[in-house]
Chains A and B, each alone.
Chain A
Amino acid sequence: MNGNGAGYGDPGEPGEPGDGTAIAAYGIGKKYRRGWALRDCSFRLPAGRICGLVGPNGAGKTTLLGIAGNLLEPTTGTLRVFGEAPESEGANRRTAFLAQEKPLFRRFTVEETLRLGRELNPGWDQRAAEDIVRAGNVPMAARIGTLSGGQRTRVAFALAFGKRPDLLILDEPMSDLDPLVRHEMMGTLLAEATEHGTTVLMSTHMLSELENVCDYLVVIAEGGLRLAGEVDDLLESHALLTGAHVDGQLPANLAHHTVVETRTSGRQFTALVRPGPDGLDGGAWQAETPNLEELLLGYLRSPQAAPLLTPSARIDDVQAVAA
């Protein structure tokens, strides 16, 4: 479970990340004065995954990350980080949280900031932290307040990675960066995670941050879980059907499948479905595997569609009782 040194990026290592569990959520919910921000969320994030957390504004992403990062307590349910409560010393030591606003002391120099990290974290890796800072040509003697947004993000990353976390939680880490720095930081993030087998959970709005970067996905909308699982498996368990409808009547045998969303445009209809047990043959349509954007938009537009969790993302009842 502890990925240190045994990362799947080691040359020649087989590609499967460890089968441990980084995060397990058992029916967690969070109620603020204005109402429920998160309701009855149960899912599992296997260790070693790079997971994107997606949802519209106000969907409960930051709340979920806050509960996993021990900044918030759930109103209902429990969450475990590597089997331990988020507030436990063990979970704290293994988790790094990078908040959206990337809080750093503006008067501190870069060097002092890293020293703070060293003093506060027993497993601190000074070299890793310095390497990340140096790769961006950030002067060690500069005060945080004088740095550009990209440089500050880099220092915040260095602080998070210097902790050598097994779980790195990032709340919209790249939103204030220009495309060049974003690409660079994403490269650094992936390379570090590859080398150390770090589990990454990051919320994002940007499809470009998800595609090719994340191999796991958790989608929430209106405080509820919509999708969770391996990106490839989620895509392959759906089909995008296109065909012609007759006077607004969709083909009757569409009912054999779980329909997520249907749209019509002129004589054409498109439907995002989860194919039924008999397969898609025999329909008057053309079937394709949706891309990530089509899948996400389909689910975000159709809050009534049943949620889908792949087997690795499911929390079974036995585990829930044990928790």
Chain B
Amino acid sequence: MEFRIDRRSGIAAYQQIVQQTRQALRLGVLLPGDRLPTAKEVAETCAVNPNTTLKAYRELEREGLVEPRPGLGTFVLRSLARPQAAADGPLRGELDAWVTRAREAGLEREDVAALVASVLEERFTGTTVAAAQGEALDMRGQG
């Protein structure tokens, strides 16, 4: 796996590494037992300070996603991939059918996005407080 650091995104580099690792865990690009690139490898390919990479890995470690093994590297402990969300899963099929109906009903892309966002807001309020707080802390940390 190779990280892509966008220097103009306004998102701190260590946050980008955390997000891209989580994304790779969700998509199954990274699986339990895989080794993350070393700080030296990331430094070489992305020209990023090794401490930035190590900071990202410490955060992933706190989340229980990876584990450093002294002398060997940092390894993936668990995946974030969910079979229910796979491309051929029934949930995706239902969503696809719903989006098709919304489009036929004359909704624009942004209308659909707004509708989905508002339902997400309603359904996930209780469970996202902790995550939102975590993000707020991240924001403070990243400067």
How far does the Cβ of B37 sit from chain A's closest Cβ, in whole Å?
A: 10
How far does the Cβ of A18 sit from chain B's closest Cβ, in whole Å?
A: 13
A188-196, A247-255, A299-307, A309-317 - interface stretch: A188-196
Whole-angstrom distance between the alpha carbons of A214 and B52 in the complex? 10
How far does the Cβ of B131 sit from chain A's closest Cβ, in whole Å?
A: 21
Determine if A236 and B143 form an interchain contact, defined as CB atoms under 8 angstroms apart.
Answer: yes
Most A C-beta atoms less than 10 A away, residue of B5, B68, B74: B68
Query: Would you list which residues of chain A between 1 and 40 have a CB under 8 Å from chain B?
Result: 8-15, 17
How far does the Cβ of A95 sit from chain B's closest Cβ, in whole Å?
A: 21
Whole-angstrom distance between the alpha carbons of A211 and B10 in the complex? 11
Determine if B7 and A11 form an interchain contact, defined as CB atoms under 8 angstroms apart.
Answer: no
* B42-76 near A? 1/0 per residue, CB < 8 Å: 01111111111011001000000000111111100
Most B C-beta atoms less than 10 A away, residue of A14, A191, A211: A191
Determine if A12 and B5 form an interchain contact, defined as CB atoms under 8 angstroms apart.
Answer: no
Q: Report the nearest B residue to A230, measured CB to CB.
A: B51
Chain B residue numbers with a CB within 8 Å of A191 are 40-41, 43-44
Known contacts A190-B44, A232-B143, A236-B143; decide if A8 and B50 are in contact (CB<8 Å): yes
Whole-angstrom distance between the alpha carbons of A14 and B69 in the complex? 10
Interface of A is mostly: loop
Determine if B40 and A12 form an interchain contact, defined as CB atoms under 8 angstroms apart.
Answer: no
Known contacts A211-B7, A212-B13, A212-B52; decide if A187 and B43 are in contact (CB<8 Å): yes
B123 close to A (CB within 8 Å): no
Which residue of B47, B73, B140, B142 contacts A190 across the interface (Cβ within 8 Å)? B47
Determine if A291 and B143 form an interchain contact, defined as CB atoms under 8 angstroms apart.
Answer: yes
Which residue of A11, A212, A232, A235 contacts B48 across the interface (Cβ within 8 Å)? A212
How far does the Cβ of A187 sit from chain B's closest Cβ, in whole Å?
A: 5
Q: How many contacts A-B (CB < 8 Å)?
A: 85
* A185-213 near B? 1/0 per residue, CB < 8 Å: 01110110111000000000000100111
How far does the Cβ of B77 sit from chain A's closest Cβ, in whole Å?
A: 14
B24 close to A (CB within 8 Å): no
Which residue of A10, A183, A213, A290 contacts B49 across the interface (Cβ within 8 Å)? A213
B81 close to A (CB within 8 Å): no
Determine if A11 and B140 form an interchain contact, defined as CB atoms under 8 angstroms apart.
Answer: no
Chain B residue numbers with a CB within 8 Å of A10 are 71
Chain A residue numbers with a CB within 8 Å of B51 are 8, 15, 17, 215
Which residue of A186, A188, A211, A289 contacts B140 across the interface (Cβ within 8 Å)? A289
Determine if A9 and B50 form an interchain contact, defined as CB atoms under 8 angstroms apart.
Answer: yes
* A215-236 near B? 1/0 per residue, CB < 8 Å: 1000000000000000010011
Determine if A190 and B49 form an interchain contact, defined as CB atoms under 8 angstroms apart.
Answer: yes
Determine if A187 and B47 form an interchain contact, defined as CB atoms under 8 angstroms apart.
Answer: yes
Beyond the given pairs A15-B51, A190-B47, A191-B44, 5 more chain A to chain B contacts, judged by CB atoms under 8 angstroms and listed by A's residue number, are A183-B47, A190-B43, A190-B50, A211-B13, A212-B46
Tell me the A residues contacting B by CB distance below 8 Å.
8-15, 17, 50, 183, 186-188, 190-191, 193-195, 208, 211-215, 232, 235-236, 289-291
Tell me the B residues contacting A by CB distance below 8 Å.
5, 7, 10, 13, 38-41, 43-52, 54-55, 58, 68-74, 140, 142-143
Q: Can you name 24 A-B residue pairings with CB atoms under 8 Å?
A: A8-B51, A8-B54, A9-B40, A9-B50, A11-B38, A11-B69, A12-B73, A15-B58, A17-B51, A50-B49, A186-B47, A187-B45, A187-B47, A190-B44, A191-B44, A193-B43, A193-B50, A194-B43, A194-B50, A211-B7, A213-B49, A214-B49, A215-B51, A289-B140
